[in-house]
Amino acid sequence: MPGPTPPLLALKNLTVGYGQPILTDLNLTLGRGQFVALLGANGSGKTTLLRTIAGRLKPLAGTIKINGQNLKDVKATTLAQTLSVVLTDKPLVPLLRVWEFVALGRYPRTDFLGRLTDHDHEIVEESLREVQAETLAARLVDELSDGERQKVVLARALAQEPELTLLDEPTAHLDLKHRLEIMAILRSLGRRRNLTILAAVHDVESATKFADLAVTLKDGRLLAFGAPEAILSAKAVQNLYDCPAASFDPSLGGLETPPDGLAGRAFVLGGQDKAALIYRFLAKKGYALTTGFFLKTDLDAHVARALGAKVFSWPHPDLKNEDELMALSLKELATCDLLAISEANGPLPELRARLLTEAQSLGLPILRPGPNGDLAPFSLTLERLKNAAAA
Amino acid sequence: MEATLNVKLMARRLASRRVFVFYVLGALTLALLAINLGVGSLSYSLNEIIHVLTHPNEKSQLATIIFKVRLPRTLAAAMGGAYLAASGLLLQVYFRNPIVGPYILGVSSGATLMVSLVMLTPLGFRLTHATPFLTTIAGCLGAYGVTILVVALAAKVRSGATLLIVGLMMGYLCGSATSILTALAEKEKIKGFVLWGMGSFSGFKQVEILILAVFGGSLVLAIYLLSKPLNAFLLGEDYAASMGVNIRRFRLFILAAASSLAGLVTAMAGPVAFIGLAVPHMARLSFGTADNRILVPGACLMGALVVSLCDLIARMWLNPVELPISAITAFFGAPIVIGLLLKKGARFG
């Protein structure tokens, strides 16, 4: 009697670990054609979970069902036709060509001597194209760069023609270009091949930007499962990685760490998206930040908040008028060690002018970027200040 | 793009290169087998030798030399080389380590210990009359004793690296026991034992050739039939498992087959250095591939060729003094391997 199609992967009350449980009581159901990011701190059990789903590790309790069938009843070859893996170790095989390497993925679908048919050749070509590695086909695997190799490793996993691919940190050690390429390929595979991808990912930014769904693991439990936009709030990310210092901005998808403030405090006149680079620069130099005056939706406001700055946005909910804002910001300026001015002609020009004269009368160093926002003058001024302090 | 990516064409090109290398190696091996039959301390014309080979029932001095001495030795050397190479190849693939050879798990040390027991102690003296195959039987017991131990341990030890260390330790253990026996032995017995320890393909009896051919041949055939999972192993155990290979069963097969082949040759010919380690590399570089479906027969052929050549040199170089085979294999082989590696710029591991 044909019932509804069972889910591709269903974990029920699953406990995994090496003898000792690492993750307990997991419940998770994945459908087809989804890119799912598996997030969690180091040691949170991402790899252990993947190894268990791949059948390399027996569950300590609970069940794993693939296409409705209990994993322990699935024949090894059938499983290999349904599920492929991309592991963290580098398969450096000397004297093996890329196409031969990818063709190894045909293993569960070839005869007892592994002879390749025309159809197998086509699948190998298609898999290479899928990862944009067709030009690498004749190269030797051990001569590829890390990024190229990772594409080829992915192509091998695709050549198995799986419904589910498990990846362990697929972008670890890759440069920016390859990291983005691999993530973009993974994102499109779900749609194009109806392939479900479950990837342990260690950077939250990629997860929010590329994955359809995210699973977070912490303290031996599944913390949340859902769209990254829904479950990866700033708070959730801080909690997930036990990292209250990190501030994650879900709308920017960026992680920032607030400065230690050892160098003092800087007042930055920002606005109109011009000051973000100045914030980062000063934060790196150890300055805690205070900034104004702009709408709270300004890009500068997002970055400044992520860097833990005191932000005088306008209109301000607690302040009745501009005079109050003026008084408050002058008081704040008195606690600062320098004033930095972005090139913006932001809102509230009188306030800006007043702050500048106040800074001059306080004898604060005033930093201005060069043409086109060049921050070299900042470096020079800070260097001079440091030398003066040392003398 | 369609025009640039044609995997079928690439496969065909590689295959034709490999067939060519097979022909060359095959022809060279046949030539060497013929030379090994024809050359010796007594020289005969080619016609005489062909006549003897085509009339095996005629009795003559040459017939005795050919059938009792040269043919067994030629066949033993070729098979010995082939089996050691296959054994080395298996273990290099399994351990994913290029400096592993057939003796890494202590097979030859076990054989050597048992042989030292019969060659160096009064125990052997008493048994010598019981059987002409005494050293062979002792070698067998030693080699297979260690093999069984290693395979049993492999069922418990998961990590390849751990198993490698266990094998090395077994080697040291047997080696030190052998040293003690050597220290206690009479001087004149030691030379014979040392020479045995360097291997020789002389003095093979017909029954030994038969065992070598049937038992060894079927092991090599089995390995060839399992070259597909062996290829999966190139990527490591985890990947192999993810493609459907039964890891537990297959690793036991690899270890048992590799040790059995090495044990078989070592029991009969003594430890032959270098072949099992180097020939797989020579085969890999000549065929230009890591594909075990090519390398299993390829390494066997290369092993037969190399050992036949080494045996010829061992017999003829300082004629009438005969050199131990291990002296020749390493002396000529090591520079060849280094040269190949440098020339091809090939990287291993």
**Residue A327 to residue B111: CA distance in whole angstroms:** 94
pLDDT digits (tens, 9 = 90+) for A67-96: 999 999 999 999 999 999 999 888 878 889
Which of A186-190's residues contact partners 24+ apart within 8 Å by CB, and which partners?
A186/A35, A186/A154, A186/A210, A187/A35, A187/A211, A189/A35, A189/A130, A189/A158, A189/A165, A190/A33, A190/A34, A190/A35
Report whether pLDDT(A122) > 50. Answer: yes
Residues B112-120, mean pLDDT to the nearest whole number? 88
Residues A355-370, mean pLDDT to the nearest whole number? 89
SS3 A258: coil
Stronger pLDDT, A77 or B154, i.e. the higher one: A77
**Residue B136 to residue B112: CA distance in whole angstroms:** 11
The number of CA neighbours under 13 Å toward the Cβ of A229 is 5
How confident is residue B349, by pLDDT bands cut at 50, 70 and 90? Answer: very low
Residue A69: the pLDDT is 94
Give domain limits for chain B: 29-342
Asked if residues B104 and B122 have their Cβ atoms less than 8 Å apart, the reply is no
Work out the number of other CB atoms within 10 angstroms of the CB of residue A76: 16
Which of A348, A275, A274, A354 lies closest to A307, judged by CA?
A275
For residue A129, which residues of chain B lie inside 8 Å, CB to CB? Answer: 1, 5
Residue A85: the pLDDT is 96
Q: Which value does ipTM take for this structure? A: 0.86
Report whether pLDDT(B1) > 50. Answer: no
How confident is residue A347, by pLDDT bands cut at 50, 70 and 90? Answer: confident
Q: Walk across the sheet containing A221-226 and list its strands.
A: A83-86, A164-168, A196-200, A35-40, A213-218, A221-226
**Residue B123 to residue B134: CA distance in whole angstroms:** 11
Token pair recorded at residue B288: 């230009």
Residue B129: the pLDDT is 58
Residue A13: the pLDDT is 96
pLDDT digits (tens, 9 = 90+) for A297-344: 888 888 888 888 998 888 887 888 888 888 889 999 999 999 998 876
Instruction: Say what the pTM is.
Output: 0.83
Asked if residues A71 and A9 have their Cβ atoms less than 8 Å apart, the reply is no
Report whether pLDDT(A202) > 80. Answer: yes
For residue A76, which residues of chain B lie inside 8 Å, CB to CB? Answer: 241, 244-246
pLDDT digits (tens, 9 = 90+) for B291-330: 999 999 999 999 999 999 999 999 888 888 888 898 898 8
Asked if residues B149 and B170 have their Cβ atoms less than 8 Å apart, the reply is yes
CATH class of B29-342: mainly alpha
SS3 B324: coil
Least Cα separation, residue B5 to chain A (angstroms): 6
Residues A366-388, mean pLDDT to the nearest whole number? 83
Q: Scanning every residue of chain A, which has its alpha carbon at the shortest distance from the alpha carbon of B237?
A: A56
Domains of chain A listed by start with CATH number: 9-246 (3.40.50.300), 258-390 (3.40.50.20)
Which of A50, A270, A140 lies closest to B345, judged by CA?
A140
pLDDT digits (tens, 9 = 90+) for B85-95: 999 999 999 88
pLDDT digits (tens, 9 = 90+) for A233-252: 878 888 888 887 777 877 77
Numbered residues of chain A with Cβ closer than 8 Å to any chain B Cβ: 54-56, 76-77, 79-80, 83-85, 87, 89, 91-97, 99-100, 103-105, 107-108, 110, 112-114, 116, 118, 121, 124-125, 128-129, 134-135, 137-138, 142, 160
Residues A26-40, mean pLDDT to the nearest whole number? 94
Which of B271, B266, B269 lies closest to B330, judged by CA?
B271
Between positions 159 and 188 of B, the ones with CB within 8 A of A are: none
**Residue B216 to residue B210: CA distance in whole angstroms:** 10
B337, with CB counted inside 10 A (0-12, 13-18, 19+), is: middle
Residue A221: the pLDDT is 93
Token pair recorded at residue A374: 């060049």
Which of A217, A239, A199 lies closest to A17, judged by CA?
A217
Share of chain A above pLDDT 90, in %: 51
Asked if residues A121 and B315 have their Cβ atoms less than 8 Å apart, the reply is no
For residue B225, which residues of chain A lie inside 8 Å, CB to CB? Answer: 112-113
Least Cα separation, residue B243 to chain A (angstroms): 5
Segment of B41-55, B162-176, B209-223 carrying the highest mean pLDDT: B209-223
Q: Do A137 and B284 touch (CB under 8 A)?
A: no
SS3 A112: coil
The number of CA neighbours under 13 Å toward the Cβ of A230 is 9
For an interface test with A, the pick among B1, B2, B5 (most A C-beta atoms closer than 10 Å) comes out as: B5
DSSP state of A134: G
Asked if residues A48 and A23 have their Cβ atoms less than 8 Å apart, the reply is yes
Report whether pLDDT(A371) > 70. Answer: yes
Residues with Cβ within 8 Å of B43's Cβ and at least 6 positions away in sequence, in order, are: none
Report whether pLDDT(B348) > 60. Answer: no
- At A270, the amino acid letter reads G
- At A60, the amino acid letter reads L
**Residue B328 to residue B66: CA distance in whole angstroms:** 23
Residue with tokens 């006549």: B51
Residues B1-28, mean pLDDT to the nearest whole number? 86
Residue B299: the pLDDT is 97
DSSP state of A196: E
Which of B295, B10, B18, B233 lies closest to A128, judged by CA?
B10
Asked if residues A125 and A114 have their Cβ atoms less than 8 Å apart, the reply is no
Report whether pLDDT(B2) > 50. Answer: no
> Pick from B98, B232, B244: which is nearest to A79 by CB?
B244
DSSP codes, B288-316: T---HHHHHHHHHHHHHHHHHHHHHHHHH
**Residue B105 to residue A105: CA distance in whole angstroms:** 31
Helix, strand, coil % in chain A, rounded to nearest 5: 40, 25, 35
Residues B27-43, mean pLDDT to the nearest whole number? 89
**Residue A265 to residue A282: CA distance in whole angstroms:** 9
For an interface test with B, the pick among A93, A128, A135, A140 (most B C-beta atoms closer than 10 Å) comes out as: A93
Residue A139: the pLDDT is 93
Report whether pLDDT(B195) > 50. Answer: yes
Report whether pLDDT(A232) > 90. Answer: no
Q: Alpha helices of B157-226 — where are they, by DSSP H? A: 160-184, 187-196, 206-211, 217-225
Q: Scanning every residue of chain B, which has its alpha carbon at the shortest distance from the alpha carbon of A101?
A: B235
The number of CA neighbours under 13 Å toward the Cβ of B140 is 10
Residues with Cβ within 8 Å of A198's Cβ and at least 6 positions away in sequence, in order, are: A9, A30, A36, A38, A50, A53, A164, A165, A166, A167
**Residue A128 to residue A162: CA distance in whole angstroms:** 15
**Residue A131 to residue A182: CA distance in whole angstroms:** 8
pLDDT digits (tens, 9 = 90+) for A1-11: 556 788 999 99
**Residue A286 to residue B253: CA distance in whole angstroms:** 62
Which of B289, B260, B182, B37 lies closest to A95, judged by CA?
B289
Work out the number of other CB atoms within 10 angstroms of the CB of residue A169: 19
